[in-house]
Amino acid sequence: MTEKLLTPLKLGAIELAHRVVMAPLTRMRAHWRDGAPTELNAEYYAQRATPGGLLIGEASPVSQQATGHPNVPGIHSAAQVAGWKRVTDAVRAKGGHMYLQLWHTGRVAHSSHQWLGKPPVAPSVVQAQGMAMTAFFKRVPYEVPRALRIDEIAGVVADFRQAAVNAMEAGFDGVEIHGANGYLLEQFLYSKTNLRSDAYGGSIANRSRLVLEIADAVAGAVGAERTGIRLSPYGIANDSAEAEPMPLFTHLVGELARRRLAYLHLIEPRASGTGQAEVFRDDQPSTAAIFRPVWPTAIIDAGGFTRANAIEAVADGRADAVAFGRFFISNPDLVRRVAEDLPFTPYQRPTFYGGGAKGYTDYPFV
C-alpha cells in the first residue's frame, strides 16, 4: 500500500502533494567555465518535476574555495544565480518545488579548482585517504589541506549565508545545508579530522559550533521554515567516520531541533552516500528511527531505498518522506512508477558524472 507515501506533507513553508523526494545528486554537467547551470540542466530537472513534488538540487559550492569537483554548478556568482533561475522556472512550470543544497568540500577538494592553485582547506592538516578529482576529471590522490585560521571561519559562515540568499533570488523554495558525506562541515564534526584546540575543536560542543553557526546564519537570512540540513551520522564517505557517533549526533541533532528547521535529511548508514560504487552495509541502525523521537519537524530519509522499504519507512512513522537518488537518475517519471508499482529502469553508472545528454536526459518514461 502506497497511501501514506503519496499523501500531502507540510514541509516548512511549502505543502508537498506526495512524499517521494529527489535527492541532491552531483552530475557535473554545469558550464565548464563559470559553473552556471545550462538549458540541459533545466531539462533534466523539469523531466523529474511533478505537481507538488520536491526536488533537491545538486550540491552547489558556496564559494570558489568550496569547489572540489569539475563542472559542478555553484551559487556564488550572478551567472550561477541566473542559470539556476532557468532551472527553477522550468520546475515551477511543471508545478514542482525545489530546494538547493549548499556545499563546501573542504579537504577533499583539489588545488586545480582553486584560484592560483591554492591547497584545499580543512579544520586541521589531516590528509584524506583516497582519490580527488581534478578540474580536468583526472583522479589523483588527495592533497594535504591547509587548516583554516580561526579568523577565516566567519567568512565560511558568511559564504553559506550569502549562498542561501542567492538561492532564494534564483527562485528556490529553500536551501539544504550539506553537513554529510565527509565534506567540510562533517570534517569539523569528526574527531579524526578536527584536531583543533580553539573554540571550534576538542569538545563535542566545539566541534558542532560551525554547523550550528551556519544553521543560524542561513535560517536568519531565509527563515528556518525554508532551511533544511543533511547529516550522515554513521557515514564513511570520503574517509570520514566517527568511532562513537551517537554522543556527537545526539548533541548536534538536539541543538538543531531547538531551531525548528524545515526538515532533517538523514542518510542511512547502509549506503555509502557517494554514488561512486555500490556500497551497502547490512545490520546497521536506522538513523531516522533513532532521531525521530527528538526531531520536531519533518524527517527525510535517504540511502538505498526501494519502493517497498520507502513505503514501510513512511508507514511506520520513522520518516515523513523518502529521497531517492540513483533511481531518480534513471527514472524521470519515478513518482508515477512508485504510485503504479511499475518496474524501475536500471541506472548506468558510467554516465553519472560529466558528459552531455547521454545518461542524463535520455532515460525513458513509461
Catalytic residues: 183
Cell of 136: 580536468
37, 30 contact by CB (below 8 A): yes
Phi/psi at 15 (5° precision): -115, 120
The span from the CA of 59 to the CA of 28, in Å, is 10
219, 262 contact by CB (below 8 A): no
- The secondary structure element, H or E, covering residue 10 is strand 9-11
The span from the CA of 181 to the CA of 274, in Å, is 7
Cell of 172: 528556490
DSSP 75: S
> What is residue 351's three-state secondary structure?
helix
Residue in this structure with the C-alpha cell 535520455, named with its chain if needed: 362
Q: Please state whether beta strands 97-103 and 174-178 pair in parallel, antiparallel, or not at all (unpaired).
A: parallel
Residue in this structure with the C-alpha cell 523526494, named with its chain if needed: 21
Residue in this structure with the C-alpha cell 508507514, named with its chain if needed: 315
157, 177 contact by CB (below 8 A): no
